[in-house]
């Protein structure tokens, strides 16, 4: 069949329990998906071409509504707990049947794609959606199959996404009417009750994180790019730390902004697109990403749109601060379309430390790298809620705990092996506050952060004198090209050094408390690489 055909040809959808569908829209190209989205009033066409959509009351991931089916094949592999919560097989099957019944006599959209740019580890996937714009999202985000590949495409994993179908919590053993269910045995993901497209992307990421370690591949929640010297760099960091912004550098070639694997062949992107935060996006500080808001093909979630002239207001966070844009990686002028890079020479951990304690740039030993990789720290700023007066820490193992089905030790061990084997240097970059905590100090300017990142990647920090942070044990450069010396030592930037000492001890204690969960599963060298709490 031609890739843009619309027909009743089922293409094996019966294997997913889908019968008696109305029209099946197979692998529609971007213009046709625009037409269907606008025809169905799913979104609006904005100035210069992006499709603007609303996701309803779910404007971000619904982490508490994600479950993994507890079945014999995967049971002993999963790191069960508050993140990887079990749901019985029988409940999954019943909910699957009801979802299939709901979709009868309805239109569905199918995109047959791939996850993984390395042909040795590429996974064929199928995304079945109720909304046309979700199909466009999938087409943007995953690796598109060629017409020849579509003739032989057999999905290894399938996602069925039906936002208007809801669970019955008392019957299905879900937390709410929203659900994201991953069944590794049936190789099937069910998503319902939410229109937030990120659930599609992250469910496939979770699948890759489960499958690849068994093949000796480290799956990573990171961005990656390549310098003019051909050297690859990785950027790890939780939301809000600058991972996407800093990796989209005009002087470097982008491999991908979010999900990668590290195999014996090098680095490879899992995806074919990017999913960036849009709130307060600046053409001066993020020109490459900002330009995607002015092109046909981009999907913008919850971005404010003028009803008169259809211009965007990227500064408006009325609906959510988590406004998002999904675009094909070809929208970034300096991106590589093959999604591949060599073994990284530099690895950067990004954190937004709102406590104002961590140095803006420091170098980690391999043991410290594994400790902080498992910790996955950043901080949220104080909110407007009454009584909330200081930042709160966020620890997400491997910088992506919600998507890591296996124990974090598995991923950390793979990281440590690769750092040692390939001699990668690891840096911790604090994009947060200096001179005091949030509300007192100032956030590190993006140009200064870029200067620190570039100096680390270019080797300009290697021979500079350093001092050792007495609490965290980091080696901190005394100077950095393009960065004021006074911000490199956080204690000296505080007006009250004793207040800094107290804050540093407090944050060190938070690290230690969080790491207790993992301390019995790691070596003494890794445990000893944490901050001093005495």
The answer to whether residue 249 is domain-embedded is no
Question: 243 an active-site residue?
Answer: yes
What is the C-alpha to C-alpha distance for residues 313 and 315, in angstroms, rounded to an integer? 5
Query: What residues contact 243, with CB distance under 8 A and at least 6 apart?
Result: 222, 223, 235, 236, 237, 257, 258, 350
Question: 93 an active-site residue?
Answer: no
The CATH number linked to 123 is: 3.40.449.10
**Given the residues 65, 112, 118, 258, the one annotated as active site:** 258
Percentage of residues of the chain with pLDDT beyond 90:
89
**Given the residues 134, 166, 324, 410, the one annotated as active site:** 324
Question: In the prediction, which pLDDT does 1 show?
Answer: 39
Residue 7 has pLDDT above 70, yes or no: no
Question: In the prediction, which pLDDT does 24 show?
Answer: 96
Average pLDDT rounded to a whole number, residues 305-309: 93
**Given the residues 74, 239, 291, 533, the one annotated as active site:** 239
Given 192, 215, 238, which residue is the final one in a domain?
215
Question: What's the mean pLDDT when you consider all of the chain?
Answer: 94
List the Cα angle 367/402/167 in 5-degree steps. 170
**Given the residues 16, 59, 61, 166, the one annotated as active site:** 61
The answer to whether residue 237 is domain-embedded is no
Question: 57 an active-site residue?
Answer: no
The answer to whether residue 439 is domain-embedded is yes
Q: Which helix (H) or strand (E) holds 327?
A: strand 324-328
CA distances from 427 to 162, 266, 444, 461 (A): 42, 20, 16, 10
**Given the residues 96, 166, 201, 202, the one annotated as active site:** 202
**Given the residues 126, 134, 243, 372, the one annotated as active site:** 243
Query: What residues contact 408, with CB distance under 8 A and at least 6 apart?
Result: 79, 374, 397, 398, 401, 518
Given 153, 186, 215, which residue is the final one in a domain?
215
Question: In the prediction, which pLDDT does 315 show?
Answer: 96
Question: 324 an active-site residue?
Answer: yes
The answer to whether residue 435 is domain-embedded is yes
pTM assigned to the model = 0.93
The answer to whether residue 331 is domain-embedded is no
Question: 239 an active-site residue?
Answer: yes
The answer to whether residue 371 is domain-embedded is yes
The CATH number linked to 390 is: 3.90.228.20
Question: 244 an active-site residue?
Answer: yes
| Residue 194 lies in domain | 6-40+64-215
**Given the residues 16, 221, 410, 448, the one annotated as active site:** 221
Question: In the prediction, which pLDDT does 5 show?
Answer: 55
- Segment 44-53, tens digit of pLDDT: 999 999 999 9
Given 215, 233, 248, which residue is the final one in a domain?
215
**Given the residues 244, 263, 378, 449, the one annotated as active site:** 244
CA-wise closest residue to 121 among 187, 225, 189, 216: 216
Question: Is 143:255 a contact under the CB 8 Å cutoff?
Answer: no
Give 73's Cβ-side CA count (13 Å radius): 10
Residue 360 has pLDDT above 60, yes or no: yes
Question: 215 an active-site residue?
Answer: no
Average pLDDT rounded to a whole number, residues 90-107: 97
Query: Quick one: 16 and 159 in the same domain?
Result: yes
- Segment 369-395, tens digit of pLDDT: 999 999 999 998 754 344 445 789 999
Decide which of 519 and 85 is more confident: 85
Query: How many domains does one find in the chain?
Result: 2
Question: In the prediction, which pLDDT does 463 show?
Answer: 87
The answer to whether residue 267 is domain-embedded is no
The answer to whether residue 253 is domain-embedded is no
């Amino acid at each position: 069949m031609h890739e843009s055909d619309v027909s009743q040809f089922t293409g094996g959808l019966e294997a997913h329990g889908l019968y008696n569908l109305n029209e099946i829209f197979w692998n529609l190209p971007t213009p046709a998906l625009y037409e269907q989205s606008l025809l169905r009033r799913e979104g609006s066409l904005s100035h210069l071409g992006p499709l603007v959509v609303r996701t309803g009351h779910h404007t971000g991931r619904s982490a508490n509504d994600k479950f993994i089916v507890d079945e014999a094949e995967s049971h002993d592999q999963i790191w069960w707990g508050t993140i990887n919560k079990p749901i019985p097989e029988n409940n999954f099957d019943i909910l699957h049947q009801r979802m299939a019944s709901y979709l009868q006599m309805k239109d569905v959209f199918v995109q047959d794609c791939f996850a993984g740019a390395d042909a040795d580890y590429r996974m064929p996937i199928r995304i079945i959606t109720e909304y046309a714009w979700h199909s466009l999202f999938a087409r943007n985000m995953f690796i598109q199959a060629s017409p020849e590949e579509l003739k032989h495409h057999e999905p290894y994993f399938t996602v069925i996404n039906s936002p208007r179908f809801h669970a019955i919590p008392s019957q299905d053993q879900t937390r709410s009417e929203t659900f994201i269910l991953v069944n590794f045995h049936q190789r099937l993901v069910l998503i319902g009750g939410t229109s937030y497209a990120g659930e599609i992307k992250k469910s496939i990421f979770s699948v890759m994180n489960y499958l690849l370690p068994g093949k000796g591949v480290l799956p990573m929640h990171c961005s990656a790019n390549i310098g003019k010297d051909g050297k690859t760099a990785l950027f790890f960091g939780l939301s809000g730390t600058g991972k996407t912004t800093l990796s989209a550098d005009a002087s470097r070639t982008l491999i991908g902004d979010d999900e990668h694997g590290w195999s014996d062949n090098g680095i490879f992107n899992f995806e074919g697109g990017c999913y960036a935060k849009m709130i307060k996006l600046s053409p001066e500080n993020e020109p490459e990403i900002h330009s995607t808001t002015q092109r046909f093909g981009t999907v913008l979630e919850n971005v404010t749109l003028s009803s008169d002239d259809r211009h965007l207001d990227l500064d408006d966070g009325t609906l959510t601060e988590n406004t998002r844009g999904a675009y094909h990686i070809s929208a970034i002028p300096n991106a590589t379309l093959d999604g591949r890079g060599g073994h990284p020479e530099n690895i950067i951990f990004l954190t937004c430390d709102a406590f104002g304690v961590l140095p803006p740039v420091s170098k980690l030993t391999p043991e410290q790298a594994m400790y902080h990789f498992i910790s996955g720290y950043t901080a949220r700023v104080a909110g407007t809620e009454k009584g909330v007066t200081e930042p709160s820490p966020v620890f997400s193992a491997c910088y992506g705990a919600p998507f890591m089905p296996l124990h974090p030790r598995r991923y950390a061990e793979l990281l440590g092996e690769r750092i040692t084997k390939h001699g990668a240097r690891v840096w911790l970059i604090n994009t947060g506050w200096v001179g005091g905590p949030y509300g007192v100090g100032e956030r590190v300017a993006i140009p200064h952060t870029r200067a620190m990142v570039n100096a680390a990647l270019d080797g300009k920090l290697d021979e500079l004198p350093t001092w050792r942070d007495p609490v965290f044990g980091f080696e901190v450069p005394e100077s950095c090209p393009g960065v004021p010396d006074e911000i490199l030592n956080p204690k000296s930037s505080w007006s009250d050094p004793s207040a800094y000492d107290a804050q540093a001890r407090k944050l060190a204690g938070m690290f230690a408390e969080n790491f207790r969960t993992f301390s019995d599963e790691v070596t003494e060298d890794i445990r000893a690489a944490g901050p001093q709490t005495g």
